Chain A
Amino acid sequence: SQTIHQWPATLVQPVGSPLSLECTVEGTSNPNLYWYRQAAGRGLQLLFYSVGIGQISSEVPQNLSASRPQDRQFILSSKKLLLSDSGFYLCAWSPGHGTEQFFGPGTRLTVL
């Protein structure tokens, strides 16, 4: 069966510090991978998606970037965090487009 991991689970960082969140998927190959942010108010906003190694598409201009160095690894980064980057970051995978997505446990980021 497939499993998706995210770490860390929680993170408190000062403004201006760098960020690296990691997501890995087990039990599947060549998944589509997604990063979402969920701010207060519950809506999920798609940040990045990837259909293969090194292939990243950005949905919204922002202070964040994503990379996919391996087939089942997806990384969300920032060089300098802003207060507005606080939120709940969710990684998801799907076996292909037009199919359901499965979410990881999330990382709660607080920028102070």
Chain B
Amino acid sequence: QKEVEQDPGPLSVPEGAIVSLNCTYSNSAFQYFMWYRQYSRKGPELLMYTYSSGNKEDGRFTAQVDKSSKYISLFIRDSQPSDSATYLCAMSGGGTSYGKLTFGQGTILTVHP
């Protein structure tokens, strides 16, 4: 079993839709959670970073963490064609892990006009 599971999609939605992206994890030591956006042939870009259960909002993006269920989500409101990319969840534990990130496989999202 992978430590982090993420549905690879692909996910195709019309412009203006609300997008929900999800990851589940099995390692209870994970304390820090991130979402990255990666355009084709580019490096991942950090979208959201959180370390507590609950919701964190930044513009059209909301990150949700449920540590009791080991489940994280990213919601994109009013999706735009420019949101078309691969979205990667990532997480890390504390202690001596030195911030090593464990990534999901990524979800390919296409927002069509």
Chain B residues, CB < 8 A from A100: 32, 34, 46, 49
B41 lies within 8 A of chain A by Cβ: yes
User: Which of B13-21, B53-61, B73-81, B86-94 has 4 or more CB atoms under 8 Å from chain A?
Assistant: B86-94
A77 lies within 8 A of chain B by Cβ: no
Chain B residues, CB < 8 A from A108: 41
Chain A residues, CB < 8 A from B43: 6, 90, 103-106
Chain A residues, CB < 8 A from B31: 98
A101 B45 Cβ-Cβ under 8 A: no
- Tell me the bound Cα distance from A104 to B104 in angstroms: 19
A97 B88 Cβ-Cβ under 8 A: no
User: Which of A13-21, A41-49, A67-75 has 4 or more CB atoms under 8 Å from chain B?
Assistant: A41-49
A110 lies within 8 A of chain B by Cβ: no
B45 A103 Cβ-Cβ under 8 A: yes
- Measured as residues with beta carbon below 8 angstroms from the partner, the interface class of chain B is 20 to 34
- Tell me the bound Cα distance from A42 to B49 in angstroms: 20
**CB of B21, distance to nearest CB on chain A (Å):** 14
Find A101's partner among B42, B94, B99 (CB 8 Å cutoff).
B99
- Measured as residues with beta carbon below 8 angstroms from the partner, the interface class of chain A is 20 to 34
B46 A43 Cβ-Cβ under 8 A: no
A54 lies within 8 A of chain B by Cβ: no
B42 A44 Cβ-Cβ under 8 A: no
- Tell me the bound Cα distance from A34 to B99 in angstroms: 10
For A6, give the chain B residue with the smallest CB separation.
B43
A43 B44 Cβ-Cβ under 8 A: no
A-B contact pairs, 10 of them (CB 8 A): A42-B38, A49-B99, A57-B98, A59-B100, A94-B99, A98-B32, A99-B32, A101-B99, A103-B36, A105-B42
Instruction: Give the interface of A toward B (CB within 8 A).
Output: 6, 32, 34, 41-44, 46, 49, 51, 57, 59, 88, 90, 94, 96-106, 108
Instruction: Given contact pairs A103-B45, A103-B46, enumerate 14 new A-B contacts (beta carbons under 8 Å).
Output: A32-B99, A34-B101, A42-B105, A42-B106, A46-B100, A49-B99, A90-B44, A96-B99, A97-B98, A98-B92, A100-B46, A101-B90, A101-B99, A106-B43
